[in-house]
């Protein structure tokens, strides 16, 4: 797509790519900017997955519930569709609770573990809390809020939910063990 092609598009119909082409004009710079946007969610998503796997290993009952939901919604041999990922209520609970308990910013971590907001079990990883809990706007901010909300929020959430699905499919019938449990 050329600069002239973008100029022909009505301003209200332009997206990020169009804006980058219009502002940068250099194809390599446009590619670099797009890669920066798309890979920005890589580290937070991988951290969230690492902590989710850790908690699933510590909580086999939660892992079993997640496995049951994935089996019911997607089956164990299919790749999940976007619609199926949206159906996975319990997987979303696992993701939200992991984001609540293990945020990368210390100040947010403190906010998301406050007992006056989350109750006396605020320090406990408990995905079920999200089945009946709706967080107030500023009590749960894994992706910030308002005009500074993370642009990769939806992409990052989809990554985590997809990977939770794939990991549970790959480990179906396998019990995850923590290092100190292997010696028993």
Tell me the binding residues for heme. 150
- Could you give the angle at the alpha carbon of 50 between the alpha carbons of 48 and 52, nearest 5°? 65
Spatial distance between the Cα atoms of 43 and 80, rounded to a whole number of angstroms? 22
Spatial distance between the Cα atoms of 176 and 168, rounded to a whole number of angstroms? 10
Annotated binding site: 150
3-state secondary structure of 173: coil
Q: Which residue blocks in the chain are alpha helix, DSSP H? A: 3-7, 16-24, 27-39, 42-58, 60-73, 82-87, 89-101, 106-111, 115-118, 129-132, 153-170
Spatial distance between the Cα atoms of 69 and 86, rounded to a whole number of angstroms? 12
């Amino acid at each position: 797509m050329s600069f002239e092609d973008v100029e022909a598009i009505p301003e209200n119909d332009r997206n990020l790519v169009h804006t980058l082409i219009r502002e940068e004009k250099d194809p390599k710079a446009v590619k670099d900017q797009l890669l920066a946007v798309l890979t920005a969610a890589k580290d937070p998503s991988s951290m969230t997955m690492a902590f989710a796997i850790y908690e699933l290993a510590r909580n086999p009952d939660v892992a079993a519930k997640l496995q049951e939901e994935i089996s019911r919604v997607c089956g164990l041999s299919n790749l999940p569709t976007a619609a199926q990922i949206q159906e996975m209520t319990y997987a979303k609970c696992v993701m939200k609770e992991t984001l609540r308990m293990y945020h990368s910013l210390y100040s947010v971590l403190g906010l998301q573990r406050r007992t006056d907001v989350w109750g006396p079990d605020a320090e406990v990883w408990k995905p079920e809390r999200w089945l009946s809990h709706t967080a107030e706007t500023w009590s749960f901010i894994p992706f910030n809020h308002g005009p500074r909300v993370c642009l990769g929020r939806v992409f990052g959430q989809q990554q985590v939910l997809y990977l939770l699905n794939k990991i549970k499919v790959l480990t179906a019938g396998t019990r995850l063990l923590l290092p100190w449990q292997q010696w028993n």
